[in-house]
């Protein structure tokens, strides 16, 4: 009976030792190593625009791309201020199985957020383009529709006036 246990332990030990021997030679494709600050982020919304809207001290944060059709950008500062943006361009919207129009995509994001948190949207005042806030438990969602796509932005530790200034920057006002 104990001999079978010894064989199992020996087998597991050999497997573990083998993995340790092979792991250093495997190509590295780790999450942290694939994170980049996408140049398109600066084209969509410059660091100066973000700092003007939210305040000094924000820096771009590298993001690991999850979907090649979606631009993901993030800015943060000590103290927990974060701005996480996803931009869905026409190609991303066309590839969506639910809706293929910017109007429909905007409505899908805002409606899903309203349902998830049980709160209604609040339009961002003073914008010709469609833009709304949905207040979550800990974060504020900002959705802005532009001619070239839809921006979905999660904001933490940001005031409404700062978020409205960011909406104007995203809308190009």
Mean pLDDT for the chain?
80
pLDDT value at 14 more than 60: no
Closest CA to 143 of 114, 115, 118: 114
What's residue 38's pLDDT? 67
Domain contains 114? yes
Domain contains 42? yes
Domain count, the chain: 1
Domain contains 23? no
How far is it, in rounded angstroms, from Cα 155 to Cα 85?
Answer: 9
Cβ neighbours around 114 below 10 Å, total: 15
pLDDT value at 117 more than 60: yes
What's the domain range around 50?
A: 32-171
pLDDT value at 110 more than 90: yes
- Most confident range, picked from 2-11, 24-33, 68-77, 102-111: 102-111
Domain contains 26? no
Domain contains 17? no
Domain contains 48? yes
């Amino acid at each position: 009976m104990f001999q079978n246990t010894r064989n199992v332990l020996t087998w597991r030990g050999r497997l573990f030792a083998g993995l340790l021997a092979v792991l250093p030679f495997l190509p590295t494709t780790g999450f942290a190593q694939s994170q980049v600050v996408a140049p398109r982020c600066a084209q969509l919304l410059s660091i100066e625009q973000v700092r003007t809207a939210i305040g000094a001290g924000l820096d771009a944060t590298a993001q690991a791309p999850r979907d090649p059709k979606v631009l993901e950008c993030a800015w943060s500062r000590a103290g927990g201020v974060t701005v996480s943006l996803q931009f869905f361009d026409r190609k991303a919207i066309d590839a969506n199985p639910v809706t293929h129009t910017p109007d429909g995509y905007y409505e899908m994001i805002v409606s899903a957020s309203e349902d998830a948190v049980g709160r209604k949207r609040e339009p961002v005042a003073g914008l010709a383009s469609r833009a709304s806030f949905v207040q979550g438990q800990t974060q504020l969602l900002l959705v802005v529709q532009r001619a070239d796509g839809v921006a979905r932005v999660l904001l933490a530790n940001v005031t409404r006036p700062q978020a409205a200034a960011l909406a104007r920057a995203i809308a190009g006002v």
